[in-house]
């Protein structure tokens, strides 16, 4: 596992000189403070997942080392992610990979980004919606959801190898801050990737399931309260248009709205 972290160290300019489970590196904190520039005094234990500098005392987990010397814009994002209350009953991916300490900002060189770019999701959209990647698993991505106060209310993750995904809090409105209730137009899509591709306000994400729209769900209440007498466009993949049709009929039982169904044209699968 630590080979991927070594690549991350190199990406951050932290030189690595060992093939064992313990490594001695130049300390980025020492370099930042202008001393001990030429001595490898930062000890890394890949087996324990920790590091320590014997000169300045800088220490912690490997994830901390990566976060501290990652991109500056990302600092506040990770601070917010620390406050997520995870629902263990919802986990479908190893809990090791659900710990936000193991995620970092997406880079244009990442495999995840190459996948997203093939789906016409550009890097500026990835930054805007804070798409992240697991530092030990280059196939694992994470997308946070924010409420109306810009606090994170859930984390959606997906593994590109086995196509498994997870949502840490199922009873949410994805990116609820991004709605304009004076607007006449609303969109319903299957996954957060679809919402990022559209990159517009008033996108309701069902996370690929009509069952999330039961009468007691927050999602149903949201549509009932805000979409009456509005225009709703349901945009699902072609192989899920029958689900979109069922969804349209269900919504029409409870509100008056002009509902259109269109196949999603970006070939994104959630």
- How do residues 100-120 score in pLDDT, each as one tens digit? 556 777 888 888 999 999 889
Q: What is the DSSP string of 116-181?
A: HHHTT--HHHHHHTT-EEETTEEEEEEEEEE-TTS-EEEEEEEETTT--EEES-SSS-TTGGG--T
Residue 218 has pLDDT above 50, yes or no: yes
Residue 93 has pLDDT above 70, yes or no: no
Which domains are present in the chain?
Answer: 2-68 (3.90.580.10), 72-170 (no CATH), 173-270 (3.40.1360)
Short-list 1, 98, 104, 96, CA closest to 46: 1
Residue 232 has pLDDT above 60, yes or no: yes
Residue found by looking up tokens 């069902």 in the block: 206
CA 112 → CA 118, 135, 141, 201, distances in Å?
A: 10, 12, 7, 25
Q: Tell me the pTM.
A: 0.64
pLDDT at 21: 66
**pLDDT over 90, % of the chain:** 29
pLDDT at 70: 53
């Amino acid at each position: 596992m630590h080979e991927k972290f070594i690549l991350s160290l190199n990406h951050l300019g932290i030189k690595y000189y060992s093939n064992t489970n313990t490594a001695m590196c130049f300390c980025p904190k020492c370099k930042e403070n202008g001393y001990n520039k030429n001595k490898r005094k930062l000890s890394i234990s890949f087996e324990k997942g920790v590091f320590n500098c014997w000169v300045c005392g800088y220490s912690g987990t490997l994830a901390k080392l990566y976060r501290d010397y990652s991109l500056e814009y990302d600092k506040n994002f990770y601070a917010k992610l620390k406050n997520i209350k995870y629902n263990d009953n919802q986990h479908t991916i190893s809990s090791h990979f659900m710990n936000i300490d193991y995620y970092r900002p997406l880079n244009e060189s990442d495999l995840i980004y190459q996948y997203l770019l093939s789906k016409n999701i550009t890097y500026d959209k990835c930054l805007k919606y804070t798409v992240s990647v697991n530092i030990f698993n280059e196939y694992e991505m994470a997308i946070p959801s924010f409420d109306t106060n810009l606090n994170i209310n859930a984390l959606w993750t997906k593994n590109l190898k086995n196509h498994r995904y997870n949502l840490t809090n199922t009873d949410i409105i994805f990116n609820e801050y991004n709605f304009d209730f004076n607007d006449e137009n609303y969109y319903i899509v299957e996954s957060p990737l679809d919402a990022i591709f559209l990159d517009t306000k008033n996108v309701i994400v069902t996370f690929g399931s009509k069952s999330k729209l039961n009468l007691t769900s927050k999602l149903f209440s949201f549509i009932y309260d805000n979409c009456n007498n509005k225009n709703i466009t349901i945009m699902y993949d072609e192989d899920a248009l029958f689900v979109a049709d069922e969804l349209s009929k269900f919504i029409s039982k409870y509100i008056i709205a002009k509902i259109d169904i269109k196949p999603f044209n970006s070939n994104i699968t959630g």
